[in-house]
Amino acid sequence: MLVLVAPGQGAQTPGFLTPWLELPGAADRVAAWSDAIGLDLAHYGTHADADEIRDTAVAQPLLVAAGLLSATALGDIADIAPGALAGHSVGEITAAVLAGVLDDTAALKLVRTRGLAMAEAAAVTETGMSALLGGDPEVTVPHLEKLGLTPANVNGAGQIVAAGTAEQLAALAEDKPEGVRKVVALKVAGAFHTHHMAPAVARLEEAVKDLSPADPTVTYVSNRDGQVVASGAEVISRLVGQVANPVRWDLCMEKFQELGVTALVEMCPGGTLTGLAKRALPGVKTLALKTPDDLDAARTLVAEHSS
């Protein structure tokens, strides 16, 4: 059984969109999305530096655009026939398009609003996120809470991402939980998936009122709790609340296992989620779409494992 997944913020790197824009029709599609949301996605995906694409308002639509371009290049979703779809953080919007809940333009407009709202919320207080590698969650989570931090991403495979103020993260760097090998500051501009994002939730509640979501045509696994969501309206509700609630990617991977996953393909810019899957889902074949050069291998995997 094949699972398609889409990465979240922090996966972007300078110039990562460049080779994808060389595919037939890709540049025109990105230009149309750029016009629709008032953001030059081609510029940011090709010429912008790391600091420019770290901006939440830029990174989020850029990631969704890249995910959709790579998925289209892989093939029609009906032909790919994945057994399940999921996305990490903003990657859930990519997954919602692939599942037929939203069309691509509506999704890009929503993610543009999401990015702007979260950037505004992040500007209120200096906040950020750090990944903790190794350790036992039963030890790590209480330690984070003692420091006033939130376990914003529980990713499985020995990784938890803490979020909070700059002072709280500095304290964490000096006082790691027992068993944690390393604390790595992430390239994000705020404490996402925490109470710091509450103002963004209110903005998104207004933004989704005019949407007409369809029910998913493919099994859609929510990163709020690893559960399958069959209603388009519920998918949208979860997308709104998600910005201020932790991502439980560990539970998503448990659900993939329960569903019988045998292969996992990660949309562009792939790497993060396949890395987690390699550690948490032994025996499952994985492939990350980083450039169009990965498409042939991905198509082979799809042919062997699709439903």
212 is catalytic: no
Instruction: State the DSSP H helix or E strand holding residue 180, giving kind and residue range, or none if neither.
Output: strand 180-185
Euclidean distance between CA atoms 221 and 139, whole angstroms: 28
Q: Which of 34, 70, 89, 222 is catalytic?
A: 89
34 is catalytic: no
Euclidean distance between CA atoms 136 and 26, whole angstroms: 44
Beta bridge partners of 159: 133, 156
Q: Minimal CA–CA distance to 4: which of 103, 109, 91?
A: 91
Q: Which of 70, 88, 130, 193 is catalytic?
A: 193
Euclidean distance between CA atoms 162 and 141, whole angstroms: 9
79 CB neighbour count, 10 Å cutoff: 10
Q: Minimal CA–CA distance to 15: which of 53, 45, 58, 42?
A: 45
Euclidean distance between CA atoms 74 and 306, whole angstroms: 13
Dihedral sign of CA atoms 28, 32, 37, 38 in order: positive
- Annotated catalytic sites, by residue? 89, 193
